[in-house]
């Protein structure tokens, strides 16, 4: 008998979904319908990855819980609830789809701030001819906080653009192929004080929530800029607002926020030097097709009994080199 696949969707369905339907008994459900269909399902594809409905709908009987959950995103923080993390359910994500697009976006944001493209656009809108100097990024230092796939892709591209790159992670090391030096907790504050740009590319876990607080922002070099393409709750937004308003930081480029959509009343919309984008750093032409292809590959592996790609360590909250390609037995 074919596995029963539940696809949780919101605004759109996966492209080329007939390929799923040939391999599994597939049902497409909304958040409201999920509690009716999730119990007894073999596989859940969270095509709408930010939904809180999975935690709310998780079967009380462990025997009725899905054996595999695949998230159509890199971040899996909405799925790190005790009933799932404490179960045998395999959790996979979509690492690899977003890495290069987000890296390009990071480079674009840094260039945008250094060259003041928003100012140029505003002058054009006003029909004002206002020549002025801009900054170079070559030779400037950037600290990439988060050494996973997105952070590594960003580091490679920023280094190719001539920036001096280092990383920040749980474990300090030297001679890293992408970051050179990776700063651990003991050297992080010193590294923050030397960086012209700090790029946040870490996953959201209990250990990283609120990691950029007032003390971290105070440790950053005066006039530095912050780029966040990780998760909004990595940052204390009030502390960031204060640091930007009083001029300690020169600017910030923010693609993610604690509350999304960003409320119209948020001061971040209007602060000088701030670029706000609507959580779209990884969304490029046919990105949904890439997500569907990745899931189809894993679905084929699941049916064949082969190891899955992108297996998440449910205690850490992200894919590690050691946890990838496990969970062949199901």
Which residues belong to the active site? 231, 260, 279
Contacts of 245 (CB under 8 A, 6+ apart): 267, 271
User: Quick one: which H or E segment has residue 124?
Assistant: helix 117-125
Q: Is the dihedral of CA 152, 156, 161, 165 positive or negative?
A: positive
Q: Residue 39, by phi and psi: left (phi above 0), alpha (psi -120 to 50) or beta?
A: beta
Tokens of 306: 């082969």
Strands 25-29 vs 141-145: parallel, antiparallel or unpaired:
unpaired
Q: Rounded to an integer, what distance in angstroms lies between the CA atom of residue 166 and that of residue 60?
A: 45
| DSSP code at position 210 | T
Which are the contacts of 50, defined by CB distance < 8 A and separation ≥ 6?
73, 78, 260
**Torsional sign, CA 181, 156, 283, 326:** negative
């Amino acid at each position: 008998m074919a596995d029963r696949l539940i696809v949780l969707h919101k605004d759109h369905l996966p492209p080329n979904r007939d390929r799923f339907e040939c391999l599994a008994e597939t049902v497409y459900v909304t958040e409201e319908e999920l509690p009716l269909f999730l119990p007894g399902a073999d596989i859940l594809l969270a095509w709408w990855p930010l939904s809180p409905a999975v935690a709310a709908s998780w079967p009380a009987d462990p025997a009725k819980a899905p054996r595999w959950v695949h998230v159509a995103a890199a971040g899996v923080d909405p799925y790190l609830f005790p009933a799932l993390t404490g179960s045998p359910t395999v959790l996979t994500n979509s690492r690899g789809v977003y890495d290069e697009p987000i890296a390009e976006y990071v480079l674009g944001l840094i260039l945008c701030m250094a060259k003041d493209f928003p100012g140029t656009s505003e002058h054009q809108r006003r029909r004002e001819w206002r020549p002025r100097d801009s900054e170079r990024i070559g030779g400037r230092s950037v600290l990439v906080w988060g050494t996973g796939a997105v952070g590594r892709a960003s580091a490679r591209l920023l280094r190719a653009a001539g920036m001096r790159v280092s990383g920040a992670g749980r474990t300090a090391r030297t001679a890293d192929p992408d970051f050179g030096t990776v700063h651990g907790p003991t050297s992080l504050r010193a590294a923050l004080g030397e960086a012209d740009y700090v790029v946040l590319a870490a996953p959201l876990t209990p250990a990283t929530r609120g990691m950029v607080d007032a003390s971290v922002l105070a440790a950053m070099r005066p006039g530095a800029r912050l780029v966040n393409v990780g998760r909004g709750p990595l940052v204390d937004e009030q502390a960031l607002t204060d640091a930007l308003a009083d001029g300690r930081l020169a600017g910030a480029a923010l693609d993610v926020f604690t509350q999304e959509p960003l409320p119209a009343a948020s001061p971040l919309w209007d602060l000088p030097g701030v670029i706000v984008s609507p959580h779209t750093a990884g969304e490029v032409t046919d990105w949904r097709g890439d997500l569907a292809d990745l899931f189809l590959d894993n679905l084929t592996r699941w049916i064949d009994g082969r190891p899955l790609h992108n297996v998440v360590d449910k205690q850490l909250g992200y894919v590690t080199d050691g946890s990838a390609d496990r969970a062949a037995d199901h």
